[in-house]
């Protein structure tokens, strides 16, 4: 009998194949006292484990280096850097010596301290970076266990990695190294019991094109090794023991998806323009320099959001002006004239650098974060602003302030920018003038969206951050699987905030972009276009999918359907109305093809 399991659709696509149950559960950790005479032996054991973990990751990189893009390899390299970070490489050694405890217990204490910081972060993307800490810690723990096996002190070591070709891997969780190696071996797809849309596992699955469903609790309890399953990454569903009709249905869908991917590739060099000739700007979100390569492959029109928080993490001191400047300069040069929008650092009371760490805020989401933190600590803010201004002399840069709530924050920030311009003139350092550097703000707090006219009058552009805007408007945490079912981009309040912000930009004659996840979801593109949005920013690997929707859209035909979605107060009815709005896709693509457009847009629509 077939069984259906629902989870989070992390990476679209259809996978059909036998299950490989990856039994790599977390190792139980107990505290053990170490005699004084054995402390240095325990330190050596820990250092051997770290070296073994590092060697395993380096071997994985070597195995996939010839056919794995550099931006994908960077996920593994991040774990290698973490293994060399004093927080995981040196601090546990200090604990072993200070407390005379076993390596596992020292590592657990340090892991708990690091995870506490990540768990309290408000930014859902950064909060899921705790997964990296857990992956690296588990790798060291497995290496410690293997050392004991090799030395005859334990039994039951992990087996060597199997051949995953054509199989559907089902696991508790997967590391970036696991995911990259599985793709290299030709895995059909995977499903995990933990994880979410923003985890590295999900991001890598999307980048590598592996169908994946995450967050299916206790899945391994109900599946047998070798049992045939279907993974539908778009629907977030795993079907166990499908009958012949179901298999035939999903085989057809597989063939259709492969045809679509080939058609999407032909869109790479096509302009992003609607059937009625309206140009739509599609830019990319990036966070590290390596993302530029993915941006080039998608032919994005520049960077709509450059997150700079990673420059501040896993270090004891914040980056200085020179480090900021050199980093931005490399990105500007790599973009070769395409615009770069830099969001100033969005740190909060929960993300102190190590030498300043104090008690965590009771509620970091409502605490000293974003522009509030920057204005409160000019010694941290000014070096970044100086670097951005200097880099703007070398290429087009947009400066964007996060987490705006009050217009006074804009006035203070603009005054600080003018002060810095004066300082740079006196120092005879080159910087971009007002025509070279546009200054904008993120609308991600409901108060800012309601007062968007005031912000639009004072700034050169606005950018809607729907991830935070939706969470603040609906008072839910989408990373918390107990309440994330309430995360609803179509909620009437959310749509009103988005439309109000877009209209405020139109009245002020300034551009408005959207850089949250709504921008990269094909379901919402037509609705957003109908609301007046003309600038989207998204992960680069999703850009061609969005372009296909844009290029198959005639704006005039959307008005009535979009208003129906906007006016509806029933969530189920909204979804049905949205489906009807998106169903126009086929008709409009056919019109474009019949008119002799010959464009790739007509080919990929549908």
Question: Which residues are catalytic, by number?
Answer: 200, 515
Return the SS3 of 27. Answer: coil
Q: How far apart are CA 126 and CA 310, in angstroms?
A: 9
Report the interhelical angle of 176-185 vs 39-64 (nearest 10°).
40
Tokens, residue 87: 């927080």
Chain mean position to CA 170? 22
* Per-residue H/E/C for 160-179: CCCCCCCCEEEECCCCHHHH
Q: 317-356: b or e for each residue (b if 16 or more CB lie within 10 Å)?
A: ebbeeeebbebbbebbebbeebbbbbbbbbbbbbbbeeee
Return the SS3 of 126. Answer: helix
Q: How far apart are CA 543 and CA 521, in angstroms?
A: 10
Category of 339 on φ-ψ map: left (φ > 0), alpha (ψ -120 to 50) or beta: beta
Q: What angle do CA 489, 490, 495 make, to 5 degrees?
A: 90
* Beta strands across the sheet bearing 228-232: 3-6, 237-240, 228-232, 14-22, 168-171, 189-192, 212-214, 8-11
Of 550, 547, 574, nearest to 562 by C-alpha is: 574
Cβ atoms of residues 509 and 563 within 8 Å: no
Q: How far apart are CA 497 and CA 445, in angstroms?
A: 10
């Amino acid at each position: 009998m077939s069984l259906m399991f629902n989870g989070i659709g992390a990476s679209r696509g259809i996978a059909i194949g036998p299950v490989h149950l990856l039994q790599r559960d977390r190792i139980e950790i107990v505290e053990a006292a170490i005699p004084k005479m054995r402390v240095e032996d325990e330190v050596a054991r820990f250092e051997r484990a770290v070296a073994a973990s590092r060697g395993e990751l380096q071997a994985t990189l070597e195995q996939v280096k010839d056919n794995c893009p550099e931006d994908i390899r960077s996920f593994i390299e991040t774990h290698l850097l973490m293994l060399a970070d004093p927080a995981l490489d040196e601090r546990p050694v200090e604990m072993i010596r200070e407390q005379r405890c076993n390596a596992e217990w020292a590592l657990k204490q340090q892991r708990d301290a690091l995870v506490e910081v990540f768990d309290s972060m408000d930014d859902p993307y950064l909060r899921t970076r705790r997964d990296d800490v857990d992956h690296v810690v588990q790798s060291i723990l497995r290496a410690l266990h293997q050392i004991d096996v090799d030395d005859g002190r334990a039994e039951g070591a992990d087996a060597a990695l199997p051949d995953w070709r054509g199989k559907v891997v089902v696991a508790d969780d997967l590391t970036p190294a696991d995911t990259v190696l599985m793709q290299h071996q030709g895995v059909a797809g995977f499903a995990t019991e933990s994880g979410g849309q923003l985890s590295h596992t999900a991001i890598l699955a999307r980048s590598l094109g592996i169908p994946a469903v995450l967050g299916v609790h206790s899945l391994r309890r109900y599946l047998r090794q070798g049992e045939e399953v279907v993974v539908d990454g778009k629907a977030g569903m795993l079907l166990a023991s499908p009958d012949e009709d179901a298999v035939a249905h999903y085989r057809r869908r597989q063939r259709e998806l492969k045809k679509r991917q080939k058609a999407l590739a032909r869109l790479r060099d096509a302009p992003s323009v609607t059937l009625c000739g309206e140009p739509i700007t599609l830019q990319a979100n990036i966070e590290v320099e390596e993302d530029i390569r993915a941006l080039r492959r998608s032919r994005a029109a520049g960077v709509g959001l450059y997150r700079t928080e990673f420059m501040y993490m896993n270090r004891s001191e914040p980056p200085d002006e020179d480090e900021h400047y050199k980093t931005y300069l490399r990105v500007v040069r790599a973009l070769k004239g395409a615009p770069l929008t830099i969001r100033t650092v969005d740190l909060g009371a929960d993300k102190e650098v190590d030498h300043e760490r104090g008690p965590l805020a009771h509620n970091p989401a409502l605490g000293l974060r974003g522009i509030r933190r920057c204005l409160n600590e000019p010694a941290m803010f000014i070096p970044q602003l100086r670097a951005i201004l200097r880099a703007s002399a070398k290429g087009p840069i947009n400066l964007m302030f996060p987490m705006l709530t009050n217009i006074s924050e804009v006035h203070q920030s603009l005054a600080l920018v003018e002060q810095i311009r004066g300082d740079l003139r006196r120092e005879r350092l080159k910087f971009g003038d007002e025509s070279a550097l546009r200054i904008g703000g993120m609308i991600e707090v409901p108060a800012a969206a309601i007062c968007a006219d005031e912000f639009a009058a004072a700034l050169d552009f606005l950018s809607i951050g729907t991830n935070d805007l939706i969470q603040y408007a609906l008072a839910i945490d989408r990373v918390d699987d107990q309440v994330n079912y309430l995360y609803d981009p179509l909620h009437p309040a959310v749509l009103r905030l988005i439309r109000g912000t877009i209209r405020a930009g139109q009245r002020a004659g300034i551009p408005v972009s959207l850089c949250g996840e709504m921008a990269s979801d094909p379901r919402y593109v037509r609705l957003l276009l109908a609301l007046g949005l003309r600038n989207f920013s998204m992960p680069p690997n999703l850009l061609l999918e969005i372009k296909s929707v844009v290029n198959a859209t005639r704006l005039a035909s959307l008005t009535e359907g979009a208003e129906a979605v906007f006016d509806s107060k029933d969530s189920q009815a909204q979804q049905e109305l949205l489906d009807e709005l998106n169903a126009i896709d086929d008709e409009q693509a056919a019109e474009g093809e019949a008119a002799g457009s010959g464009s790739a847009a007509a080919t990929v629509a549908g």
